[in-house]
């Protein structure tokens, strides 16, 4: 039974990554510094794992005031389902999501403690990449919570903090717009419905390893980016107060368009993605736009990107003079 004084849960979804999970749990136990009456609950989801909790806890230095619970799935869950499965197990006031294999940095405990003093439903902890400019001197500086533009979130899983009460309807009822973007959609849903604003921490307290390895192919990455942009369009329309979403789309639009074309070219022109067909129907209303699309499809990739910048300018001009 979870202690009634537990305000914070830290959720770690894991898909068969014992080494990464042990690393994350070890770093959390090193950084969490709380009195027994003010406990933290670490909630771990074992998604179709070949190991059990005993292997995870072996030689871990578990401190007083930290509860650890494991929840095993009955079968393999996809990314979105694994997130909602784990969040459904939380009954504390707030919850933080940390990705398996990522590491807690100095200051995490203080960041969580001070977040409780903010009257808000969503907070964001920045995630730094190991070996890319985050030196130890910078990490020792004190951090503060500041108001954030509505619509801010991490594209990586870690660092999203929610007031748990707001997750019940989202995780149990609503259908997600995009595939494998659950953490972003949940963040947008909570902020879109909240009247209390969002806050962002001023320095990284979570680190993720820099790696170029993974199972995604280039085509998979393109498809995910297209879905990400489509997700932002949907939520920009659904919640007009999410100003950050509009800024993100402004930056991403031409890249999104280029990736659509590159995806088609990467597949040898054998399949045209649905979003590209929708874009042609919406914007290619005259021969000039059709000319651009056809030219990009036969042009080298670098030339395609340049043409897309020009096409994007024409689209913006067309929208401006409506």
Same domain, 33 and 168: yes
Q: Which long-range contacts (CB under 8 A, 24 or more apart) does 21-27 make?
A: 21/56, 21/100, 21/101, 22/56, 22/60, 23/101, 23/103, 24/98, 24/99, 24/100, 24/101, 24/102, 24/103, 24/104, 25/56, 25/57, 25/60, 25/68, 26/60, 26/61, 27/103, 27/104, 27/105
CB 8 within 8 A of CB 92: yes
The residue among 173, 208, 243 that closes a domain is 208
> Which pLDDT belongs to residue 250?
67
Whether the CA torsion 47, 53, 58, 62 is positive or negative: it is positive
3-state secondary structure of 65: coil
Residue 3 in any domain: the answer is: no
Same domain, 48 and 123: yes
The residue among 208, 231, 255 that closes a domain is 208
Same domain, 155 and 236: no
Nearest-angstrom CA–CA distance, 121 and 118: 9
Same domain, 251 and 313: yes
Same domain, 192 and 238: no
Same domain, 46 and 185: yes
pTM of the shown model: 0.77
> Which pLDDT belongs to residue 87?
94
The residue among 185, 208, 231 that closes a domain is 208
Query: How would you write the pLDDT of the chain (322 residues) with one tens digit per residue?
Result: 333 346 899 999 999 999 999 999 999 999 886 554 557 899 999 999 999 999 999 989 887 778 899 999 999 999 999 999 999 999 899 999 999 999 999 999 889 988 988 889 999 999 998 765 444 334 445 789 999 988 899 988 999 999 999 987 787 666 788 888 899 999 999 999 888 889 999 999 999 886 554 444 555 656 676 777 788 888 888 898 898 887 777 666 666 666 666 666 665 554 555 556 566 666 666 677 667 666 766 777 677 667 666 766 765 665 455 4
Please enumerate in sequence order all residues whose Cβ is within 8 A of that of 148, keeping only pairs 6 or more positions apart, or say none.
124, 197, 198, 199, 200, 244
Q: Which long-range contacts (CB under 8 A, 24 or more apart) does 275-282 make?
A: 275/226, 275/230
Helix H or strand E segment including 66: strand 66-72
Nearest-angstrom CA–CA distance, 123 and 160: 6
> Which pLDDT belongs to residue 223?
66
> Which pLDDT belongs to residue 118?
87
94-116 as b/e: b if 16+ CB within 10 A: bbbbbbbbbbbbebbbebbebbe
The range of the structural domain enclosing residue 74 comes to 8-208
Nearest-angstrom CA–CA distance, 279 and 263: 14
Same domain, 188 and 260: no
Same domain, 249 and 269: yes
Residue 126: CATH number of its domain: 3.90.550.10
Neighbours of 139 (CB within 10 A): 16
> Which pLDDT belongs to residue 120?
92
Helix and strand numbers, DSSP H then E, in the chain: 12, 11
Same domain, 312 and 229: yes
Tokens of 27: 């770093």
């Amino acid at each position: 039974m979870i202690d009634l004084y537990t305000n914070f849960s830290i959720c770690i979804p894991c898909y068969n990554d014992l080494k990464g999970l042990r690393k994350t749990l070890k770093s959390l136990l090193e950084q969490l510094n709380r009195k027994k009456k003010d406990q933290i609950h670490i909630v771990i989801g074992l998604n179709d794992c070949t190991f059990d909790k005993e292997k995870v806890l072996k030689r871990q230095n578990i401190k007083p005031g930290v509860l650890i619970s494991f929840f095993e799935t009955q079968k393999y869950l996809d990314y979105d389902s694994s997130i909602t499965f784990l969040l459904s197990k939380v009954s504390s006031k707030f919850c933080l999501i940390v990705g398996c294999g990522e590491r807690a940095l100095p200051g995490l405990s203080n960041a969580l403690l001070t977040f409780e003093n903010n009257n808000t439903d969503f907070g964001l902890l920045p995630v730094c990449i190991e070996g890319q400019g985050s030196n130890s001197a910078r990490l020792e500086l004190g951090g503060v919570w500041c108001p954030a533009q509505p619509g801010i979130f991490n594209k990586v899983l870690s660092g999203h903090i929610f007031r748990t009460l707001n997750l019940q309807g989202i995780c149990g009822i609503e259908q997600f717009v995009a595939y494998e973007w659950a953490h972003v959609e949940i963040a947008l849903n909570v902020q879109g419905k909240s009247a209390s604003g969002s806050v962002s921490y001023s320095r990284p307290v979570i680190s993720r390893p820099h790696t170029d390895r993974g199972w995604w192919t280039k085509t998979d990455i393109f498809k995910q980016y297209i879905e990400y942009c489509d997700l932002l369009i949907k939520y920009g329309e659904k919640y007009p107060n999410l100003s950050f979403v509009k800024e993100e789309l402004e930056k991403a639009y031409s890249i999104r368009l280029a990736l659509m074309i590159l995806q088609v070219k990467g597949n040898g022109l054998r399949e045209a993605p649905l979003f590209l067909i929708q874009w042609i129907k919406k914007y290619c209303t005259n021969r000039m736009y059709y000319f651009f699309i056809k030219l990009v499809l036969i042009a080298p990739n670098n030339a395609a990107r340049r043409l897309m910048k020009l096409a994007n300018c024409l689209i913006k001009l067309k929208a401006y003079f409506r």
